[in-house]
Each structure stands twice: as C-alpha cells, then as structure tokens.
Amino acid sequence: MTFFANVCLTIEKYYRFFLEGVQNTLIIAFFSVFIGTLLGILMAMARLSNFKPLKWLATAYIEFFRGTPLMVQLMFIFYGLPMIGVTFPDVPFIENFQRFAAGIVAMSLNSCAYVAEVIRSGIQAVDIGQMEAARSLGFKKSQAMLLVVLPQAIRNILPALGNEFVTVIKESSIVSVIGIADLMYRTNGVKAKNYKTLECLFIAAMIYFIMTFIGGRLISAMERRLRRGRK
C-alpha cells in the first residue's frame, strides 16, 4: 500500500509536470506522423517510379532509416548537423525550439521510411484495373495515381497510419536525451526531486498506456467504420 500511496502523492504534487510532458509528447507525435506521412507519400511514389535512379535513391533511404537506430539518427541531426554548419533557426517565442525541431525532424524522417512502405503496399493492393480504367478515360498516369489510385490506397491504410501514430507516441520518449521536456524528461525531473524512482516510472508507464490504449480504440473504431463503408 505504501507504493500506491507514494504514487498518489507524487501525482497530486507533480501532476503539472506530467501534464506538460504529455502535451509535448503528443505535439511531437502529431507533427512527426503528419510530416512523415507527407514525405512517405512522396517516398512511396519514388519507390514505385520507373525512373531507376529515383527508385534506387528511395530504396536506399528507406533501408537506411529502417536499418539504423532512431537514437543514432536523433544524435546525428541534433549534434552532427551543427558541426557541418547546418542549424535550426531560433524562434524567440517558442522555448527550446531548436531541440523540438531536431526531435521532430529526426522522428519525421524515421516515420517517413515506415509510412512509405505502408503506402507502397497500399497502392499495390489496389486493383490494377483502376489504373487502366482511369487511363482509358484520358487521365495521365500521374493524374490517375493521385486522383484514383492513391485515395483508395489511403483509405485502405488509414488504420496502419493510426498504428504508426501510436508507435511514435512510445518512441518519442527517446527525445528526452536531447533535453526536450516530453513525458519521459519530466518523469526524470520528478525522480530527481522526490527520489521515488519506481513510483515515477510507474506513473509514466500508465500515462503512456492510457495514451496508446485510447489511440488503439480510436483506430479500431475507424476500422469498423471503414468496413461498414465498404458494404
């Protein structure tokens, strides 16, 4: 009972720290998936391109970002790029903007690689007759892809994109290593104040679980709605 009493006392005393961490975690996750999805669409198109150099470049990008740890990518972007003169602009009215920008860029580039493969598989799952029918109506190949094939593919892969958002929520904890005040960073701050390590980690775990559980239920509801829409 002492453990749960300490948990309740920690929440009561430091709930503002945890709420700020949740807010920053959700902001990072949202922008990472949003930007990653936009880039992933372009990368999937390049992956399916008949132009060999572009296809090889997209394949190399996807394999590299899927085959290297996110921690290494984050460290390279935050610490490595400034060494070669590439820095993020400083925005006075956003505290620690450079850190947030580095975290979002790193996670967006990583998410892009996974989303690109999801979108590619979704496009290839659309019946080839859809493309042929669009071309027979006078559409160019690019128009048929953007106006006919891609909307159907996006509808099929929406649940997978939702799962990517849930995954990014969990993976975003890694940005705490560069000083972004996400949930994990704030949890470490509370640990340093009250020395209740196990209790703080338990609270963080429960908050992550709640966020991912709600996200999972929303994805399930979306899947059911899409299935009803096909009937």
DSSP 116-149: HHHHHHHHHHS-HHHHHHHHHTT--HHHHIIIII
Residue predicted with more confidence, 130 or 18? 18
| Geometric angle at alpha carbon 168, from 164 and 174, rounded to 5° | 155
With a CB cutoff of 8 Å and minimum separation 6, the contacts of 65 are: 73, 109, 110, 112, 113
For residues 74 and 110, is the Cβ–Cβ distance under 8 A? no
Q: How far apart are CA 230 and CA 207, in angstroms?
A: 35
Reading the block at residue 68, the tokens are: 């290297």
Q: How far apart are CA 167 and CA 206, in angstroms?
A: 16
Percent above pLDDT 90 for the chain: 40
The rounded mean pLDDT for the chain is 87
Among candidates 41, 46, 50, which has minimal Cα distance to 58?
A: 46
This prediction's pTM: 0.85
In terms of Cβ atoms closer than 10 Å to its own Cβ (0-12, 13-18, 19+), residue 63 is: exposed
Percent above pLDDT 70 for the chain: 96
With a CB cutoff of 8 Å and minimum separation 6, the contacts of 40 are: 111, 112, 113, 114, 115, 116, 118, 119
Instruction: Give the per-residue pLDDT at 231.
Output: 54
Domain that holds residue 179: 2-230
CATH number of the domain where residue 186 is located: 1.10.3720.10
Q: How far apart are CA 12 and CA 27, in angstroms?
A: 24
| pLDDT tens-digit map of 152-197 | 887 778 778 888 888 888 888 888 888 888 899 999 999 998 888 9
Q: Per-residue confidence at 93, pLDDT binned at 50, 70, 90?
A: low
Residue 91 has pLDDT above 90, yes or no: no
For residues 19 and 210, is the Cβ–Cβ distance under 8 A? no
DSSP 151-196: HHHHHHHHHHHHHHHHHHHHHGGGGGGGT--SHHHHHHHHHHHH--
Residue predicted with more confidence, 227 or 190? 190
Instruction: Give the per-residue pLDDT at 230.
Output: 58
Instruction: Give the per-residue pLDDT at 152.
Output: 80
Residue 1 has pLDDT above 70, yes or no: no
**Structural domains of the chain, count:** 1
